Structure 1
Amino acid sequence: MPEDGAIDIEYGLDDRPPAVKAALLGIQHVAVMVVPATAVAYIVAGEVGASGADVAYLVQMVLLFSGIATLVQTLGAGPVGSKLPIVMGTSFTFVGAASAIGAESGLATVFGAVLVAGVIVEGLIGWQFDRIKPFFPPLVTGLVVVIIGLYLVPVAMDYAAGGVGAADYGSMQNIGLAGLVLAISVGLNLYGEGVTRLLSTLVGIAAGYVAAIALGVVNFAPVGAAAWVALPNPTRFGTPEFDPVAIVTFAFLFLVSAMETVGDMSGVTAAEGRNPTDEEFRGGLFTDGLLSSIGAAFGAFPVTSFSQNVGIVNFTGVLSRYVVAIAGGILALLGLSPKIGALVTTIPSAVFGGAVLLMAGMVAASGVRLIEQNAQFNRRNMVVIAVSLGLGLGIATRPEAASGLPAALETFVTQPVILTALSALVLNAVAPGEASPLFDEAEEPPLGPEPTGTIDDD
């Protein structure tokens, strides 16, 4: 571990690993995020009563625009793109609103709201980021990273148990598959060397998948039914409709998405012992909003940064944006070929859950490191941390506590990320003192605790 707090980096931001190794590392990123990304389409489609053909199309569009957005995010396109190793995909943040609005008013209203809210909200935040940046010190962004990891843990546990609603939820078979993936991934990362350590998560998923096939729990029927090639159809669900309530609802959720993206970018650059630059923040937020709006025109749900892939970056020490660009290319190809995409989605939930459980913990740990590197754990900052995480975890575990609020407000405050971020923003702004660095840059780091027993509240 270098002295500046950065992790041991195997490949830096602009490094290009050998072709075969880079391809395998890219596949590893895809393997970790493809199931939850496509799960959003399955869940929303089920809630709105979509046909089997429509479900397949929604999954295809999620993969296609996740890939395109990842390519733009990693390689850049003018002012759009952070040029950081950020994998883009459809977030569970949008599931509740998309399901409720889609069931009541149709998917055309959902996509119309996303088209407007994405480009306006995240475009405005990115454009004015210079003014907004002071409200996102490392203490705040670190807390956002922590809560993203922590609230992914229950999701990971549900997957590890077989998926919510599964008849065999919590069975020994599911727990065994998840445990196998987790054990192999951790063991190879801690004791392996070279490419074995770098591909530890992929090897764990592959071993779990082979075991699942041997147990007869992998269903290949959807692969045979899927077409080889299919192109996007912008009129699939009709002309987008623009409902004010739906637009405002998604505007709130894009604020959540922006905070997640800020946190994820901070989690990635924390591996180098630094915070993202203004240009990186701005380009990342532009990608979130613009690609979500473009995708909505073709029937894709909003895309945002994927937190579990931030965990992979920190877990493997591979920061190369070109590796993640390969993952984006793979996702785009999967989106053009429903048959190949169907093959990827045959990965059982339990296999995927073992990997995500590890990644969620790594994301939370990277957030703790970001805070520890940049802020003292004094009384002021401990209060900010305690209140922000308490509210965020509280609403994550007991969302029904806000059931008496007006519907629009309930949608807003029941998002753990936004509640944690807003709490941290407000407390950090009004609390006396500042979120001070560990030590002044002009001074040497302290060698030990102060000789007095008092608490420094400065």
Structure 2
Amino acid sequence: MSDPATSDPVEKKYPAFRLVALGLQHVLVMYAGAVAVPLIVGSALQLPKEQVAMLVSADLFCCGIVTIIQSLGLWNIGIRLPIMMGISFTAVPSLIATGTNPALGMPGVVGAVIGSGVFTLLAAPFFGRWVRFFPPVVTGTVMLVIGLSLMRVGVNWAAGGQPMIKGANGMVPNPAYGAPFALAVAAIVLVSILLLTRVLKGFLSNLAVLMGIGIGFVIAIAAGKVDFHGVADADWVRVIHPLAFGWPIFEFWSTLSLCAVMTVMMIESTGQFLAVGDMVGRKISPRDLARGLRTDGIGNIIGGLLNTFTYTTYAQNVGLLQITGVFSRWVVAVGGAILMVFGSLPKVAFISASIPSYVVGGAAIVMFGMVSATGVKILSKVDFTANRRNLYIVAVSVGIAMVPVVADNIFDQLPSALEKFLHSGVLVGTFAAALLNILFNGVPAKERDEASRQADRPAPRTA
């Protein structure tokens, strides 16, 4: 009798060397995206290099913890499939909006992340009932809004940082903003990523972003534009200390904004779970789905406590499963362990934090553009011909969401609570799309399970 562990691709175990090699491959595929988020948020919040390095370390360490929980399971948490978890770009606009608020800063970011994690954890068992309020016309619009909101961050980064920086007497113009060298390197990184994506095949094409950043980094080093201060003094091994920024600040509107983002991310995760289930020949039950989504919530809580951000399923690693045909959850778990090791090496984090903003800015334009492109891809499933009202849902939601992006101070004279709500383009866009969909298309009907549908069908006639 055959061992079920050998016939089930999810449970297949490999020799140690191959297990590590396959796990490292998963790490390489998601590394650039995982490192980019703390670099982006740290740059936008103008954090010192030491704190940015700490964010990178904490991010990698938490990516590993949450990946292991998702793939191997912990009590009633974790879908127990080869799912790689990583830090999400989707939440970046909300994180930056919260962190740049002088009254909140990083403690406010940490509080919002933990609060959204609690929301996700509690909502996971009931999420199947809520999905109906987020059809493709809503989720596609939200993803489009998120990508467009992020683009301003990417462009500023490519230009060398923020237009205004802190000076002795308040905010002053940044003299390095728009420097020709910064723009040139960002353009080289962008073109390199495009050419590498065109030339490379298979697994190597997944590393195009990482390679493009590497090319830009080498150019910046050769030009003497990189400051490696702190690398030599950094410890070889460091323990991640919880709540390094102080006690969290739980502010209602920043938490609500991130909860709206997490709702969209749960929809994305659901799609990824179903895709992996199809790959491995497993039907994803509502209970499986709840376990997987609980991991997103637990990931946020762990991430907040350990000074980092929001976590979700990484689509590029789902693509890697399809490319390699290796579906073992043990491979992914080893990848999580490798991430934890990387997160415990401060020198690695300091080197990552030494990458100039304009280098990652060139890659950010590609990555953030892909977020918008994902929204367009989702919207391609929407019928705009027979139901022209869907055009209004997209048009008005995107238009309203872009108001705080293109005019930062437009709501400053409104009451404080209303100003905070309207200042988040992602939050406003999500609410607008969901409400307009109800207005034009009605309240979506509840989906019943297959057993109920079978019961409603007439019995076959007998002769």
Query: What is the Cα deviation at residue 262 of structure 1?
Result: 3.4
Judged with a 3 Å threshold, the aligned counterparts in structure 2 of structure 1 residues 355 and 13 are, in CA distance, closer, same or farther, namely farther
- Asked whether the 8 Å contact 1:70–1:88 carries over to 2, the reply is no
Q: In the alignment, is the contact (CA less than 8 A) between 1:63 and 1:332 conserved in 2?
A: yes
Partner of residue 58, structure 2: 61
SS of the aligned residue for 2:410 comes to: helix
CA separation of 1:317/1:77 partners in 2, compared to 1, >3 Å: closer, same or farther? same
Q: Structure 2 vs 1, CA of residues 234 and 277 (structure 1 numbering), >3 Å: closer, same or farther?
A: same
Between 29-38 and 58-67, report the one with greater CA deviation. Answer: 58-67
Partner of 2:428: 419
**Counterpart Cα distance in 2 of 1:315 and 1:172:** 37
Partner residue of 1:385?
Answer: 394
Q: Distance in 1 between matches of 2:155 and 2:334?
A: 29
The 8 Å contact of residues 38 and 52 in structure 2, kept in 1 or not, is answered as: no
Find the counterpart in structure 2 of residue 80 from structure 1: 77
Supply the AA of the counterpart residue of 2:196: L
Range with bigger deviation, 397-406 or 214-223: 397-406
Q: Of 143, 147, 151, which residue of structure 1 is paired with 2:149?
A: 151
Q: Report the secondary structure of 1:221's partner residue.
A: coil
Corresponding letter in the other structure for 1:400: N
1:13, 1:417 → 2: CA distance? 37
Q: What is the correspondence of 1:325-336 to structure 2 with a 5 Å cutoff?
A: 328-336=336-344
Larger radius of gyration: 2
Q: Tell me, yes or no, if the aligned pair for 1:37 and 1:89 is still in contact at 8 Å.
A: no
Asked if 1 retains the 8 angstrom alpha-carbon contact of 2:24 and 2:338, the reply is no
Alignment match of 2:260 (pick from 256, 274, 277): 256
Distance of 1:267 and 1:173 partners within structure 2: 41
Q: Which residue of 2 aligns with 1:26?
A: 27
2:346 is aligned, of 338, 361, 384, to 338
The 8 Å contact of residues 63 and 340 in structure 2, kept in 1 or not, is answered as yes
Give, in angstroms, the shift of residue 150 of structure 1.
1.8
Q: In structure 1, what is the Cα distance between the partners aligned to 2:356 and 2:274? A: 32
Query: What's the offset of the Cα at 1:324?
Result: 7.3
Counterpart position of 2:95: 94
Q: Deviations over 1:367-418 (max 9, x none)?
A: 2112212544431111111111111122322232222233233222222222
Deviation for aligned residue 1:252: 0.8
Q: Structure 1 counterpart of 2:438, which letter?
A: A
Report the 3-state secondary structure (helix = DSSP H, G, I; strand = E; otherwise coil) of the residue aligned with 1:87: strand
Distance in 2 (CA, whole Å) between partners of 1:107 and 1:393 is 25
Are the counterparts in 2 of residues 66 and 303 from structure 1 also a CA contact under 8 Å?
A: no
Q: Which amino acid aligns with 2:428?
A: L
- DSSP-derived class of the 1:225 partner: coil
- Find out whether 1:303 has 2:300 as its counterpart: no
The structural deviation recorded for 1:344 is 1.7
- Please state how far the C-alpha of 1:112 moved relative to its aligned partner: 5.8
Shift in Å at residue 287 of structure 1?
Answer: 2.8
Q: Which moved more, 1:65-74 or 1:222-231?
A: 65-74
| 1:277-300 Cα distance to aligned partner (Å, 9 max, x none) | 8567645542333222234344x1
Q: Secondary structure at the match of 2:230?
A: helix
- Would you say the 8 A contact 2:400–2:429 is kept in 1? yes
Are 2:66 and 2:299, in contact at CA under 8 Å, matched by a contact in 1?
Answer: yes
Counterpart of 2:456 in structure 1 is none
Q: d(CA) in 2 for partners of 1:270 and 1:389?
A: 28
SS of the equivalent of 1:222 reads coil
In structure 2, the residue corresponding to 1:373 is in which secondary structure? coil
Deviation at 1:365? 1.5
* Partner SS state of residue 216, structure 1: coil
What SS does the aligned partner of 2:311 have?
strand
Q: 1:55, CA displacement in angstroms? A: 6.5
Match for residue 449 of structure 1? Answer: none
| Deviation for aligned residue 1:44 | 5.1
Specify whether residues 66 and 251 from structure 1 end up closer, same or farther in structure 2 by C-alpha distance, changes over 3 A only.
Answer: same
| Alpha-carbon distance, 1:122 to partner | 1.7
Aligned identity (percent) is: 29
TM-score by length of structure 2 reads: 0.73
- Return the alpha-carbon distance in structure 1 between the equivalents of residues 146 and 259 of structure 2: 14
Residue 438 (structure 2) aligns with: 429
- How many residues align structurally? 410
Q: Is the 8 A contact 1:267 1:310 kept in 2?
A: no
Unaligned runs of 5+ residues in structure 2 are 1-8, 164-173, 279-283, 446-463
8 Å contact kept, 1:126–1:285:
yes
1:113–1:247: 8 Å Cα contact kept in structure 2?
A: yes
> Residues 218-257 of structure 1: CA distance to partner in whole angstroms, max 9, x if unpaired?
211121121122213347566x47x7xx342343133133
Rounded to whole Å, the distance in 2 between the matches of 1:163 and 1:42 is: 7
Deviation at 1:311, TM superposition (A): 7.4
Residues 277, 232 of structure 1: alpha-carbon distance in 2 compared, 3 angstrom cutoff: same
1:182-197 equivalences under 5 Å are 182-197=190-205
Q: Distance in 2 between matches of 1:393 and 1:401?
A: 12
TM-score (norm 1): 0.74
Superposition map of 1:27-42 within 5 A = 27-41=28-42
Q: 1:373 is matched by which residue type in structure 2?
A: K
1:398 aligns with 2:397: no
Q: Name the CA distance, whole Å, in 2 between partners of 1:65 and 1:291.
A: 8
- Give the letter for the 2:35 counterpart: V
